Each structure stands twice: as structure tokens, then as C-alpha cells.
Amino acid sequence: MLPIITEEISTEIFTEAFQDVQSWRKNMVQYMKEENPEINSAILEVAKYDENIDLKAVALGAYLSYRLLEVATENEGVTLES
């Protein structure tokens, strides 16, 4: 079961990400390469699927989702399994 993403968690992550979206996304690319390379590869595969998809927008949404779930899981005292 997925953890509950509270308004507080959303606010925290959105504030963190939207202070400097480009830097945050670049940092998440590096973090994901180390933390969960399979998910990072899946995100990049989306861009290869359709040339009309904006890779940066897809990556931002995916990294935001991952980070929201990661923090919510940590707050519930559960660890994400890889």
C-alpha cells in the first residue's frame, strides 16, 4: 500500500523543487542514478517513446512523484524496497 502524501509533505517538496526547478531536477537525476537507477532509466525511456513528449517535464513530474512518495514513506516509518 502506498503511503499517504499529506498537504505538509506536498508543500515541503514543492517549495524545495520550485525554488530552482532546473537545479532541483538536475540534482534528482544524480540522486536517482545512485538511489534507483531502474526508475531513472524508465523515466528516460519515456522520452524515446514519443518525440513530442517534453523530457524535462516528464522527468520533473516523475521525480516529484518519487520524492513525495519517498518522504511520505519515511514519515510513516516504512522503507521503500528496491
Cα distances (angstroms) measured from residue 45 to each of 40, 53, 82: 9, 11, 19
Domain assignments of the chain as residue spans, ordered by start = 7-75
Percentage of the residues of the chain whose pLDDT score is greater than 70 = 91
State how far the Cα of 30 lies from the Cα of 63, in Å rounded to an integer: 11
- pLDDT tens, 13-35? 999 999 999 999 999 999 999 99
Res 81: pLDDT: 52
pLDDT beyond 80 at 7:
yes
Q: Region 29-55: what's the mean pLDDT? A: 86
User: Is there a contact between 72 and 6 (Cβ–Cβ < 8 Å)?
Assistant: yes
